[in-house]
Structure 1
């Protein structure tokens, strides 16, 4: 749940602080609100979220627990209890420390030179998540926009992604093809590349490591990773690195340079094959392009089309 700092003051008639006080949390204080509900700080490292939108499922809760049992160098979400009061779901969760690494690139221009502490923070997060084995609960998750668990009917992550690409292209691929030359051939090349990738370790994939989803401390070290769910699954950690390189700066004036630099950096530091990273970046664009809009009036659609136009999977002259 994303919260807004503009909503720090509670309305005079807010009944929830009293509700929490009656349950042993007399210092409960409203700290923010978002489209999904309101968040209250309870103290002792715990918050309560009062859900007006769709609350987390039991499967999501299990995924959080699967990750939290590992001793990572940063905190991750964990749901301790789920209550219901007069038809409203209330979750009691770990309070995540730190502040966002930086604002979203749609609202904040990034400098041309990648800060070293940002590169190091991303590397630490990627290494941490890659140390957590993928679980059955993660395999049962559905990627946003799809109609079935990603791994359903598949034993290999790469084959599961190939199935997802085919379903996503069938949804509204004609709209994307208007903006991406050689579209059908590019999709086929991407599928062939996926199927030819060797088996890889199956680990935790967050899938949306944009800067606001990584919290850092005053020294720039990552202390929390939040907002799992958009593309969370179990899979090849190289996929996480590829997507992170692409989404760290999506809309800034140096976005293309930053993506290329981070892709090279992750390949070198983590030992991932550049060709695999290229294929996975094409997959991400092919499977998320229509989640917010289906033409170039939508920023994410435009970004996906641009990603594909410069990806070698969609070039008529492959390098």
Structure 2
């Protein structure tokens, strides 16, 4: 489903302005969101993530260099509880729009889904790796594109539930950034 102008006017969780405000490309809008999130509480992340400033710059550069592509509806929170299935296991509905619902690059949706499908399980890192590999192969996305979007998601959402290591999502973002190939290149 194509992204619409109305979708471009939506805000995303943790931010107070429409994501696309002042931007014509999703990648540039996302880079601006990352900058706003880092300005809010980046110092808290920097205390836990080595070479934080350089990693932010590498992520921003990667986002800005991504090619234009299709702009579709993105959900931004595709996890098992948000996908309802019928008795045969076929998806029939998606719930809980709003966390990061906007118009955007479908590769962002794939990247985020791969990273958050099993955020807190004992095999979360392995599942992220396998889903990222699978989505790159099945959908033809460049691995570096998915990795850049995963770093951007961690940077943009690190403080939505709490801005220190007392929050599980914050700790998850720290782990993501510490192992993200674009961020720590």
Q: TM-score range by the shorter chain?
A: over 0.9
Match of 1:86 in 2: none
Map 1:138-217 → 2, pairs under 5 A: 138-217=7-86
CA distance in 2, matches of 1:257, 1:217: 28
1:138-188 deviation line (CA, Å, top 9, x unaligned): 100001111210000000000001100111100000001001101000000
Judge conservation of contact 2:144–2:182 (CA < 8 Å) in 1. Answer: no
Please tell me whether Structure 1 or Structure 2 has the larger radius of gyration of its CA atoms.
Answer: 1
CA distance in 1, matches of 2:54, 2:114: 25
CA positional deviation for 1:189 = 0.3
Matched position secondary structure for 1:308: helix
Match of 1:245 in 2: 114
Judge conservation of contact 2:148–2:183 (CA < 8 Å) in 1. Answer: no
CA positional deviation for 1:218 = 1.6
CA positional deviation for 1:219 = 1.5
CA distance in 2, matches of 1:282, 1:303: 12
1:181-203 deviation line (CA, Å, top 9, x unaligned): 01000000000001110001000
Match of 2:143 in 1: 274
CA positional deviation for 1:288 = 0.5
Match of 1:107 in 2: none
Matched position secondary structure for 2:162: coil
CA positional deviation for 1:294 = 1.1
Matched position secondary structure for 1:152: coil
Judge conservation of contact 1:182–1:314 (CA < 8 Å) in 2. Answer: no
CA distance in 2, matches of 1:221, 1:196: 36
CA distance in 1, matches of 2:35, 2:124: 28
Map 1:289-304 → 2, pairs under 5 A: 289-304=158-173
CA distance in 2, matches of 1:151, 1:303: 26
Higher relative contact order (CA 8 A, sep 6+): 2
Judge conservation of contact 1:278–1:312 (CA < 8 Å) in 2. Answer: yes
What is the RMSD of the two structures over their aligned residues, measured on CA atoms? 0.7
The number of equivalent residue pairs is 185
- Between Structure 1 and Structure 2, which shows a larger proportion of strand residues? 1
Matched position secondary structure for 1:246: helix
CA positional deviation for 1:297 = 1.1
Give TM-score scaled by structure 1 length.
Answer: 0.57
1:204-250 deviation line (CA, Å, top 9, x unaligned): 00010011000011221101101111100001100000000001000
Any unmatched runs of 5+ in structure 1? 1-131
Judge conservation of contact 1:181–1:314 (CA < 8 Å) in 2. Answer: no
Match of 1:137 in 2: 6
CA distance in 1, matches of 2:86, 2:182: 38
Any unmatched runs of 5+ in structure 2? none
